[in-house]
Structure 1
Amino acid sequence: MKTQQELMSVGRAAELIEAGKYLSIAGDEAALRQLPQGNWIGGTIPYFMAAAGGTVSREQVFVSEISGFAAPPQLRFYDSGSLPQICRNAPDNGYSILIIPAFSGTHASFAQNAPNFEEMYMKPLIGWIAGVHLDDLGKTSPKVILGSTGEFSESDAVVMDVPLPPEKFAQIDIVNLFRPGSGAGISFQNNGFSAGDCLIGGQVGNLADYLLEKQIDTRLPLVADYSGAMINVSIKSIDHEAKRVEFYAPVFPGLEYRFAAPVTDYVTAFQAALPKSGLDISFSCNCILNFLNSHLEGKRTGEVTGPMTFGEIGYQLLNQTLVYLTVTE
């Protein structure tokens, strides 16, 4: 039986909660506030990839049902101080779904420190960064919800630890269509969500000036090789006066970044990169920037559905990427 992952009415989601199901739920804050307490975690976002295609809805919620576990999943909050324990506390065989509110201290802490968390990469950790409708940016804060208490938080992360029986195995896959382009290599002295002065092609330069001078399409992320995986860092904004560039994920020293080569037809490239038809995906999410830049409203990305988020988590923080989890025997 395939895992239930679908966009549905608040009423239908409430029925599943009241039936005792374990769920991960994404939706606009007003919709999530209508749901009863139960075995669920959630985060705010009104952008989704539904079975019918890309959808923006403040009324519906996207529900991923969690099933096939060996023991009841554990639901809890983590603050930035306790978050480094997330993998150590995770089940020895299973996976964890993590949701973090965008622009929070926990978001910044996770982004910059997750690769060094104890037992990171030993246990599957997947999830996403909660956001808001783009019309509400700066007016309302992204939030996560611990459904077992009904508590909302704009500062803490929420997690569901799912233990699996010994014959089952969880695997995270990442679909990233972006590859480094042919431009200059860029390296940074410090890690962080913004940068100004840096090394460009081995010479001291300023990233904001370089973007302007080369007329770089800022819908393209910076890409670097993180131990064999191509990881994107998306441009959030450029302050030409302050000569600084803000990012949706941190850059790190010791890596060489390049702006990505353009993807001419995102939907076609995506279809080609997606997993084979019929794969039972337990959880997945994609990036709001892919949704916007590739005009995915009304378009489908294969059989993969889920929230369109302010960042994806596949062990560490990702941008402009699709992540999905499968459980196999």
Structure 2
Amino acid sequence: MKTHTLLTVAEAAALIDAGKVLALAGDEALLAQLPKGHWIGGTIPYFIADQGGTETRERLYASELTQAKPSAIALKTYTLDTIARIASDAPDNGYTIVILPAGSAIHTEYANHGRDYADMFIKPIVGWIAGVHLDDLGRVAPKVVNGVAGGLLSEAAVALHVTLPAERMAEIRILNLFRQDPEGDVITFAEAGFSASACLVNGKPAMLADYIAARGLDLKLPLVADYHGASINTSFQGVDADGRTVRFYAPVFPGIEYRQAAPLGDYVQAFEMLAGGAHGEVEFSCNCVLNYLYGELRGRRTGDLYGPATFGEVAYQLLNQTLVYLDVHTPS
């Protein structure tokens, strides 16, 4: 059986009963049927699988963590009071996969403060934001599961800490289509948050929604910040009906200069070029549901990178519109 693939509940249960270490994704009705074991899971119905981009509520996506030994893992549930310990709890040589439910207080906490947690950026932390079918937005809460404890959780995060043998190491890779438009305006914010009204455009006060309307900005193109050479996206969720507040899928931060991403031309072609080819010994991968939608990935493959298409990606901090994967290898 393939180690990264869509499975029936019975097939996933058989892997759990066989003692496999798994990261699972799927509809909450499917996750609720699984036996306890060495797994974590989160809700989402969108995936990049063998047959390409797939939307299904009938199957689970399983990532078998082949480098994780049951005797060398720790499954933990984190609350608002404990999530700041996630990197401290992580092994000195290994990796952590974390799943947080979208829209929850713990999602907001991690997004706003995760980069400041002790040991963050020292130990590999990768993962994703659980979501729901887009038809269920606002009606159904995203959920996560700690497979040892069981139960669907909407206000907690789950993490799988994996210790690797000394001869192996984990590295996080980020594939991002977007770069700042060098000709674009510089946008800054006075406060951190998942939404904004006021901002500065090239140092002058402005209302962000008015600026977007006046410039006719394409909201498929995220705001991009340059973090010491790394391009980090903040994707637009939309403009409120009152036309005053702009919502994002990740927070903006004060003291950071944002520019909208440079135009891509053909989004689909650009993404195929980005994700094509081989990517080493991939232990885990996830993509963004916005790439799934805007890149028209339904029925399309993304090279050898499979996994859930999520409401946000984690590569240490929260990311948007990014493909993230974890490579476990022997150092050269």
Q: Give 1:266's aligned residue.
A: 267
Moved more, 312-321 or 63-72: 63-72
Q: Give 1:255's aligned residue.
A: 256
Moved more, 45-54 or 7-16: 7-16
The alpha carbon displacement at 1:68 in A equals 2.5
Q: How does 1:139-158 map to 2 (within 5 A)?
A: 139-158=139-158
Counterpart residue identity of residue 290, structure 1: N
The change in CA–CA distance for 1:78 and 1:203 in structure 2 (over 3 A counts) is same
The change in CA–CA distance for 1:278 and 1:289 in structure 2 (over 3 A counts) is closer
Q: Give 2:162's aligned residue.
A: 162
Cα deviation 1:192-219 (Å, max 9, x = unaligned): 1111111002211010000111111111
The alpha carbon displacement at 1:275 in A equals 6.7
Q: Determine whether 1:326 maps to 2:324.
A: no
**Partner SS state of residue 180, structure 2:** coil
Q: Give 2:40's aligned residue.
A: 41
Moved more, 302-311 or 236-245: 236-245
1:173 touches 1:325 (CA, 8 Å); kept in 2? yes
The alpha carbon displacement at 1:151 in A equals 1.6
Cα deviation 1:33-79 (Å, max 9, x = unaligned): 12111111000000000011000000111101112236431111001
Cα deviation 1:272-304 (Å, max 9, x = unaligned): 333742622100000001111111111111111
Moved more, 54-63 or 240-249: 240-249
The alpha carbon displacement at 1:170 in A equals 0.2
Counterpart residue identity of residue 283, structure 1: F
Whole-angstrom distance in 1 between the partners of 2:311 and 2:233: 13
Moved more, 261-270 or 28-37: 261-270
Q: Give 1:57's aligned residue.
A: 56
The change in CA–CA distance for 1:165 and 1:102 in structure 2 (over 3 A counts) is same
Whole-angstrom distance in 1 between the partners of 2:175 and 2:289: 15
Whole-angstrom distance in 2 between the partners of 1:74 and 1:267: 39
The alpha carbon displacement at 1:9 in A equals 1.4
Structure 2 residue runs of 5 or longer lacking an equivalent are none
TM-score (norm 1): 0.96
2:276 touches 2:302 (CA, 8 Å); kept in 1? no
Could you list the structure 1 runs, at least 4 aligned residues long, displaced by more than 6 angstroms after superposition.
Answer: none
The alpha carbon displacement at 1:20 in A equals 1.0
Q: Give 1:110's aligned residue.
A: 110
Q: Give 2:318's aligned residue.
A: 317
Whole-angstrom distance in 2 between the partners of 1:96 and 1:58: 27
Q: Determine whether 1:10 maps to 2:9.
A: yes
1:267 touches 1:301 (CA, 8 Å); kept in 2? no
The alpha carbon displacement at 1:266 in A equals 3.0
Q: Determine whether 1:294 maps to 2:303.
A: no
The change in CA–CA distance for 1:10 and 1:75 in structure 2 (over 3 A counts) is same
Q: Give 1:206's aligned residue.
A: 207
Counterpart residue identity of residue 115, structure 2: P
Structure 1 residue runs of 5 or longer lacking an equivalent are none
The alpha carbon displacement at 1:259 in A equals 1.0
2:8 touches 2:59 (CA, 8 Å); kept in 1? yes
The alpha carbon displacement at 1:242 in A equals 5.4
Moved more, 187-196 or 65-74: 65-74
Counterpart residue identity of residue 329, structure 2: T
Whole-angstrom distance in 2 between the partners of 1:276 and 1:149: 39
2:267 touches 2:294 (CA, 8 Å); kept in 1? no
1:69 touches 1:165 (CA, 8 Å); kept in 2? no
Cα deviation 1:71-112 (Å, max 9, x = unaligned): 431111001211111111101100000000000000000000
